[in-house]
Amino acid sequence: MNRLLRFSFFSWGPSGSSRTMSKVLVVLGLIFLFAGVAGCSSKDGNDKVVAERDAATKAIAALTTENTTLKARIPTLLYNSYQNNERGVELSYPATWVQRDTQLIFPFFVSPDGVANVGVTKEILPQAMTTDAYFDALNRRLQAEGYILSGLRQTKVGSASGLQAVYLNKGLAQVFVVVVKDKTAWSLIETAKAYEFIDWAHTFNEIAHSFKVQ
């Protein structure tokens, strides 16, 4: 557990602050812990990495295209609405999922079987940034920590322009939906085991489509 939560500080630049990226990486550590990543690390190997990458590739295709076969095998879920005006975020989540409180993630919802989760982070930046600049810094740090970027595309977060990325790390696949407005950055993070990721692709897509920031 300590290893997962021990993230080094990152600086946005000569005059930037390290605290923002540190918080983001601590959040990722917490999400991995909820997903049970500790049990996967001892089984890592080249064959498994390749298999996970193939599984994530299929899931990415499901996230970026209208896949009627996927929709047919995933039953339509009832969704509840979450809105927090103070944090400036709203989204819909499966009605059967449970909300858990954490200090750094809001909201944080977990599937009934505990194998998938979704959470939102909000960071106040030391200076105004574009979404692309924020993501570039985040992406460099994640890849330095062993994350593998498997897909990236532009997306809409309400009326704002954002980026959607899919990563693999330690047996998990994660969807990041990142958007920045002036000095505020939000990240929607959806997590599932890589082999089961395609089973959650439609649900993750619905949640991402509902994600809006103020």
Q: What gap in Å lies between CA 82 and CA 80, rounded to an integer?
A: 7
Dihedral of alpha carbons 208, 119, 111, 169, sign: positive
Q: What gap in Å lies between CA 167 and CA 191, rounded to an integer?
A: 10
**Stated pTM of the model:** 0.76
Q: Residue 101 is encoded by which pair of tokens?
A: 């409180």
Per-residue pLDDT of the chain (214 residues; tens, 9 = 90+): 222 222 222 334 434 445 555 555 555 655 554 554 334 444 456 777 677 677 777 766 666 565 545 555 555 578 999 999 989 999 999 999 999 877 778 899 999 988 899 999 999 999 999 999 999 999 999 999 999 898 899 999 999 999 999 998 888 889 999 999 999 999 999 999 888 888 888 889 889 999 999 9
* Domains of the chain with bracketed CATH: 2-213 (3.40.1000.10)
Q: CA gyration radius for the chain?
A: 16
Q: What gap in Å lies between CA 4 and CA 182, rounded to an integer?
A: 31
Q: Which residues contact 163 (CB under 8 A, 6 or more apart)?
A: 131, 132, 135, 152, 153, 154, 155, 176, 177, 178, 179
Q: What gap in Å lies between CA 109 and CA 125, rounded to an integer?
A: 25
